[in-house]
Every structure is written in C-alpha cells, then in structure tokens.
Chain A
Amino acid sequence: MNATSTTPRLIEQFERGLDAPICLTWELTYACNLACVHCLSSSGKRDPRELSTRQCMDIIDELQRMQVFYVNIGGGEPTVRPDFWELVDYATAHQVGVKFSTNGLRITPKVAQRLAKSDYVDVQISLDGATAEVNDAVRGAGSYDMAIRALENLASAGFADAKISVVVTRNNVGQLDAFAALAQRYGATLRITRLRPSGRGVDVWDELHPTAEQQVDLYNWLVAKGERVLTGDSFFHLSGLGAPGALAGLNMCGAGRVVCLIDPVGDVYACPFAIHDRFLAGNVLSDSGFDNVWKNSALFAELRAPQSAGACGSCGHYDSCRGGCMAAKFFTGLPMDGPDPECVVGYGESSLAQPRTMPRPGTDHSRGKPVMLNLSMRPPARACNESPV
C-alpha cells in the first residue's frame, strides 16, 4: 500500500492544521441551572455580552461557507437560551449539523418528539454517575433524575442513538459497565471523556481525577469493550499503555488544528478545555469573523507549528502520547513541554509533587462556589451507622 507514502501521515497533516475545523464546540451561554463542581467553563450566570440571535446566525453562515459539518453546542445549559431551538433550526437548514449537550432540563416528551423528527440533530445527555449518589455528588441534587427522565423521553419518542456523556472520575470509573448498560437500556451510545482541570475543575481535579491504577483499568476497559464507545479522542494521553493503534481515534491534540471553541461572547479558544487568555485566539466580532480567526490568529499559527517534545523527548512513549493534553498541563501548573499530569510512565506525578502555581481560569460565571458532596464509598459497618431507626 503506497497510495499515501508520498504524502505525510494524516496525523502530521492534521497537526499542521486544516483550512476549517473538522468540528468545533460552541458554548451558547454561560447560564446554567446546575452548578457542577467540575464545570469546564465555570458556568452559572449569563454574561450580558453573550451573542445575539443575529450574531449567532452570522457565525452559522460562516460555518456553512467553511463546510464545518457539525457543531457541538454546549454551555452552560444551552437550552435555556430563548432562541436555542431557532438557532438549531437555522443551523440544520444551513447544512451545519448540531450535536448539543444538555443536562436534560428542557427535554420534555414534546421536545423529544420534535428532536426525533430531525436527521440533523444529535443529543448528548450529561451524566457523571451511573447511580444518583455518584452523579449528584458532582452535578447537584436531582440532576441524575433529570438526566434519566430526558433519556426516557427521548427513547419513548423514538429518538435513536442519543449519547450519554460521562466525564470519567475517580468515583465513577468503576461504573463503566453500568454506564454501558444504561446506554443499552435507552438505545443510546456511551461517550466517555477525560476530566480536565479546566474551569471549576481546577479546584476538584486533585481529588476527582482517576488514580494511576484506575487509568490502567480505564485503558484496558476501552481496549476490551470500547468498540462502540465514543471518547472524543480524549484519552490519547493513555495510548502509550498499549500497542499503537489499540486505542480507537486519531490520538492527537486537535486544539487550534482541527478543533476549537467559540464561547458565549464570541471569543475563540484553542479548545473547550482551554478557556484562558493564554489560549485565546481572537473574537468573532472584533476580529472580522470566525474564518479570519481560524486562519490567521497568531496563537493557532503557534499551535500548528512543530512542537518541542521538551522533557519528553527521550521517552519511548512520546510518539504515542505526544506529551499529552496541553490544557491539563497548563491548569495543573506544569510546563507545556513536559509530561501530562496523568502521564502513563508516572512522570506527571513527580512533576505534580514539585512546587507549582496553578493559573486561574480566565472567566468565571459561577453562582457562588459549588460544594462537592462526600461519598461514602464503603458500606456502613452497621445499619444503625446509616439510619437512626
């Protein structure tokens, strides 16, 4: 097979960036009814500068011209925008498919029926525990029931293949089979992604990110049972745990190269996990549109240039993990040209033990400070320890 031997490997072409993103994340609002402890965008309150309906439609027109096939819409809780459905309809009418992430708030039976009629809309329900106890500890009381109700409504309406979107944590990594069973029950597909120390996640990452042993379990689970599980390519930092190619996906950092983020005020960041001035490429309003930011920003040019392997240069795994996730390094205060904090060789752990300064997230729309509930992971020794009756 020499059809591709004259051209660089695909991954190398992707690392140099494409003329348009393969897909992008678009957070429509910072407003949210929940206050998840690990929210990557520190959402809560709406920002008064959020883009108007017309400004959003202009972005969609641009995405259509650039042939961006679909956008991952999120927030905040995007469905609380009064023009949410209008924007979804506008996008799909302009050949821009929509996948949106929701906590389930507005997925009523009526909305579910409407969604089931569209070929161009995909729904992702966020759930961070296969049980209410584990989920609600990070996403808030009642959030498990709300998500399950949404999944039930979608299934009853005949919406095929919704996604259950799980951020893998120390407390739910043991529930992967249970998540897969939940997905099966609702005719849905499981999607699992990596916990990043982004947004409010910076405050809980130390106690919530999977342990080194759990990372190995996670990797083995993905290789053994992950064939129909989506990952958003987010575990490429683990690819050194096995043979090249064992983990499905491109296994590269797409930030500013094949993906990016548009935030609710039109700021363009390299990726959804990098809301900080260090990764701000420009603004769709003040920098003459998204296309211009994508093609001409100095930051994106930097990310598309050859990267230094730095301290990882002599490591045999560098070809697989390529130094890991830029945002995970940045927000844990590690050098950008060193190992990922969850490096499979363990170099991250020793780096984390060194003195370091963690950068604060660039924007914060939190309503107060969300509190994580403590989980009792062990059964009570005696029934009366749990119940006074």
Chain B
Amino acid sequence: MRGLLTVPAGADMAAVIDLDRGWLLHPQVAVRPEPFGALLYHFGTRKLSFLKNRTILAVVQSAAAHETLRNALRGNGVGPADEPPYVHALDVLAASNMLVQRDSQ
C-alpha cells in the first residue's frame, strides 16, 4: 500500500504520461470522493482504483480544465519538488486508461 494510488494487479505499467499535453478522465470513469481521497471505477475495463489523497483527486478532476497536466499539478499546489509521486500516480492512471489524452478522443 505505497504511493498515491492503488491499482489492481495486471495494470500495464508502461510510462506514457506527457505532462505537457492535455489529459482528462476517460468518459467511462466514475469518481466517488471519500475521506481518504476517492474511488475510481472504469466501466469499460471494470477496474477499480483508489486515489489516496485529496490533492491527487483534485489534479485528476481538474485535468480537463487545464491546458496541460503540468498546469493541473501547479494549479493544485503541487510544485516540481513534490511532483514525483503524483507523476507516478498519473502515469499509472494513464497506463490503465483511466486518464486519456484530450486529443486522442
């Protein structure tokens, strides 16, 4: 139970995130905010993930409103020094198709 995110075994861990592009939650992903962060459920892949704090939730939820993912991080107070665990979590979310690139829709 390390990191900001828990994903089921079998998620593809390939690094795919590009912080300088626009990303958003896949339209089939539902978000249920919880005191610890949030539950994410992807109705297409039927995978459940846990976001483990409110900041990563805010980054993910506001991603669509920012031109780039980096802006979404900064907009939620995540500076370059704090960002590695967030980038890792976003990377895993992208690899499991929870986050998709805006122009790949």
Q: Using a CB–CB distance below 8 Å, which chain A residues touch chain B?
A: 1, 3-4, 7, 9-11, 13, 18-20, 22-23, 67, 69-70, 95, 97, 99, 119-120, 122, 161, 226-230, 245, 248-250
Contact = CB atoms under 8 A, between A and B. Distances in A.
Nearest to A226: B9
Given A95-B30, A226-B9, A227-B9, A7 B48 contact: no
Nearest to B31: A67
A242 to B, nearest CB: 15
A119 B30 CA distance: 14
Contacts of A19: 34
Contacts of B86: 3
Contact of A10 (B1, B28, B55): B1
Given A3-B85, A4-B4, A227 B10 contact: yes
Pairs of residues from A and B, 10 with the lowest C-beta to C-beta distance, nearest first: A248-B9, A69-B41, A67-B32, A228-B10, A13-B36, A1-B85, A3-B53, A227-B9, A4-B52, A122-B46
B39 interface: yes
A99 B43 CA distance: 11
A288 B70 CA distance: 47
A7 B36 contact: yes
Given A10-B36, A13-B36, A67 B85 contact: no
Given A3-B55, A22-B48, A69-B48, 18 more contacts: A3-B56, A10-B1, A10-B50, A11-B1, A19-B34, A67-B32, A69-B30, A69-B39, A69-B43, A97-B43, A97-B46, A122-B46, A227-B10, A228-B9, A230-B8, A245-B1, A249-B9, A250-B1
Contacts of B85: 1, 3
A158 to B, nearest CB: 15
A13 B52 CA distance: 11
A22 B32 CA distance: 10
Interface in B54-101: 55-56, 82, 85-86
A257 B48 CA distance: 17
A350 B4 CA distance: 41
Contact of B6 (A10, A23, A227): A10
21 contacts: A1-B3, A3-B53, A3-B55, A3-B86, A4-B4, A4-B52, A4-B53, A10-B52, A11-B1, A13-B35, A19-B34, A20-B32, A69-B32, A69-B39, A70-B46, A95-B30, A99-B46, A119-B43, A228-B9, A245-B1, A248-B8
A1 B9 contact: no
Contacts of B82: 3
Contacts, number: 67
Given A67-B32, A70-B46, A119-B44, A7 B9 contact: no
A119 B32 contact: no
Chain A interface mostly:
loop
Contacts of A228: 9-10
Nearest to A251: B1
B37 to A, nearest CB: 8
Contacts of B2: 1
Interface size band for B:
20 to 34
Contacts of A69: 30, 32, 39, 41, 43, 48
A19 B6 CA distance: 19
Contacts of A13: 34-36
A70 B35 contact: no
Contacts of A122: 46
Contacts of B46: 70, 97, 99, 122, 161
B4 A3 contact: yes
Nearest to A18: B34
Nearest to B2: A1
B82 to A, nearest CB: 8
Nearest to B42: A69
Interface in B13-33: 28, 30, 32
A122 B41 CA distance: 14
A10 B35 CA distance: 10
B52 to A, nearest CB: 5
Contacts of B52: 3-4, 10
A248 B48 CA distance: 13
B9 A9 contact: no
Contact of B41 (A1, A10, A18, A70): A70
A22 B36 CA distance: 13
B1 to A, nearest CB: 6
